[in-house]
Amino acid sequence: MERYFQDMVTSDDDYPRKPDPAGLLTLLKRYDLPPESTLIIGDREIDIQAGKNAGVATCFYSPKPGGNSADCQFQDYFELIGWLTRE
């Protein structure tokens, strides 16, 4: 899977654990990503809270609908693509 990612922050990097946004903020700065046009996708509520704490949009992936505080939720890849390409 690593070939699909340009960079990542892991527990080996000694950042505080989520929902602390330190790891996400590092990636935003490293790649000069504006928070207002950045999206984090997570499969746990703690991922969504970390994204919110970093000031980015959040999207929750789960095969089961409902029960989260994300800006969007999808159950499969095609739903995500539809959300990202909506007018």
Q: What is the pLDDT of residues 26-61, one digit of tens each?
A: 999 999 999 999 999 999 999 999 999 999 999 999
Does domain 2-84 bear CATH number 3.40.50.1000?
yes
Rounded to 10 degrees, what is the CA torsion of 55, 20, 6, 57?
Answer: -20
The confidence band for 77, taking pLDDT boundaries of 50, 70 and 90, is confident
Q: What is the pTM of this model?
A: 0.84
> Cα separation of 16 and 23, whole Å?
8
pLDDT over threshold 80, residue 9:
yes
Q: Is the pLDDT of residue 87 over 70?
A: no
* Domain boundaries of the chain, sorted by first residue: 2-84
